Amino acid sequence: SLSLSLCGRVAMSSAWCGPLPRSCFGVDIGGTLTKIAYYEKACDHEDHEFREKVRKLMATPATYGSTGKRDEHLEFRSDILGGSVFLARFETRRMASFLDMLRTEQVLLHDTAIYCTGGGSRKYAPTFREHLGVELCRLDELNCLVDGINFMIQHGHELYCVDHQTFRESGERKQPEDIGEQRFPYLIVNIGSGVSVLKVHADFTHERVGGTSLGGATFFGLCCMLTGAESFEEALSLADQGEASSVDLLVGDIYGGSYEEYGLGESVVAASFGKLTRPEVRQNVQAKDMARAVLDMITNNVASIAHLHARRHGTRRVVFAGNFLRQNRISMARLSYALNFWSKGKMQALFLAHEGYLGALGAIVQSGTHHTALTQTSSENGFRHTSSRSFASEAPEDTDLTAAASAASAASAAATTPTGPSPAAPARPASIQLRPDCLRTSFVRLPPDVVRAVLLLSAVLHGFRPAVCSAPS
């Protein structure tokens, strides 16, 4: 049997181990924004002074300066965590001011837990240590994202879809059909500076299956060069006013109408920036049209990649995430339309209510992983394996995750099933992916080679063919 008690994973089958042991911070330090999720444990008498300082600081408008903001409308109480979650953000370039404020107000104690993810978790770790005497518990960025999404889905009303025809003007969100436990598998398309595509098999298992280098930074960089925009917000504002058809070559421009034989309407883009081959167009092109054409090109490319991955992996739901989508109704509407168009209505584009904070929330969720462990006992051979994801600074740099836990669970269940007539069991996977860093015990630190050898042996005993972790080409 498989006993799930790992705080870092929120399984539907009562896998959650209960409230977190103490109040803590989850911080996602990105290149542009730093997002903070503060978890306050209910009735935490031991941390009373700490809680009061944090509450006072969060309630003071001066705390956030000109670039920071507290998103009170997104804050919530979690019965799963056993406390409340508060959310705030500020521009990462203001990190020095943020640290000075924490030091002046003496908010952080020497044992204050800060669970940190994002690229800045490595960059700013020495700064936190030198200025505040606090060690950051660094966690993998994509792991935190997936954990944050799965965790928030447990609370309901996190996912929503949009009508591409009305969303830009109305901003109206629609609740998707109730997916419940049937949400797996699904894809996460994380649009940051670049794009990563993740397949989520279950609460405990996901893998990176692809991506592209053409993402949010591509849009902003090209807009800086082509339009003179000096901020991401300015580039988006220009795009909102522009018309891409002024520079894009459309099907109608080539055929004089629709290409009916293949179902391509006259407004479908045949070649992004295709009209700029004409001197008269180049002479009269406007910055706002260039910005819109760049935005549509990047968005269409992401939607195409998402659709192809969804087809390849047999998933119907695609969750789009990433700061690129913050305040970006144009891309959200286009992603929804494109996925619906290419799949002929069979696939659904979903978006997240807590967009931007999922990494920080995932860091809070993972904060419990060093207190509990995943325990597996095989009644067939008496083999007992206790393990949990590697913690803090031991988090790996790459993002492919193991499917060993779910595979071993299936094997264990099959081994203990009584003989006799029974419903057909799911087909056993042909191979599993092994990563020793994801399966180290939180009580005994074994060398990676030893752990890998044990896992390989366990896999062979259960009849699996081990495979090396790798992203598809």
Which residues are catalytic, by number?
141
State yes or no: cis peptide before 185, omega within 30 of 0: yes
Own/partner contacts of 66-72, CB < 8 Å, gap of 24 or more, are 67/91, 67/94, 68/94, 71/357
365, 151 Cβ separation under 8 angstroms: yes
128, 114 Cβ separation under 8 angstroms: yes
CB-based burial, 112-126: b 16+ in 10 Å, e otherwise: bbbbbbbebbeebbe
183, 172 Cβ separation under 8 angstroms: no
83-91 vs 69-70, strand pairing mode: antiparallel
76-78 vs 136-138, strand pairing mode: unpaired
User: What type of residue is 2?
Assistant: L
Contacts of 13 (CB under 8 A, 6+ apart): 4
